[in-house]
Chain A
Amino acid sequence: ETAVFQTPNYHVTQVGNEVSFNCKQTLGHDTMYWYKQDSKKLLKIMFSYNNKQLIVNETVPRRFSPQSSDKAHLNLRIKSVEPEDSAVYLCASSFRLGVNYAEQFFGPGTRLTVL
Chain B
Amino acid sequence: GDSVTQTEGLVTVTEGLPVKLNCTYQTTYLTIAFFWYVQYLNEAPQVLLKSSTDNKRTEHQGFHATLHKSSSSFHLQKSSAQLSDSALYYCARYTGYQNFYFGKGTSLTVIP
Contacts and interface: CB of A to CB of B under 8 A. Distances in A.
A106 B45 contact: yes
Interface residues of B, number: 21
Provide the main secondary structure of the chain A interface: strand
Of the candidates B39, B45, B102, B107, the one having the most CB atoms from chain A within 10 angstroms of its own CB is: B45
Contacts of B45: 43, 90, 106
A90 B97 contact: no
A102 interface: yes
Contacts of B107: 41
Nearest to B43: A108
B104 A33 contact: no
Contact of A42 (B32, B47, B105): B105
**Chain A interface bracket (under 10, 10 to 19, 20 to 34, 35 or more):** 20 to 34
B50 A103 contact: yes
B90 A43 contact: yes
Interface string B91-112: 0001001111010110100000
Given A33-B98, A42-B104, A106-B44, 18 more contacts: A4-B44, A33-B100, A41-B39, A41-B105, A41-B107, A42-B105, A43-B90, A45-B99, A48-B98, A48-B99, A55-B97, A55-B99, A96-B98, A102-B100, A103-B47, A103-B50, A104-B100, A105-B46
21 contacts: A4-B44, A40-B104, A41-B88, A41-B104, A41-B105, A43-B45, A45-B102, A48-B98, A55-B98, A55-B99, A90-B44, A90-B45, A101-B33, A103-B35, A103-B47, A103-B50, A105-B47, A106-B45, A107-B44, A108-B44, A109-B44
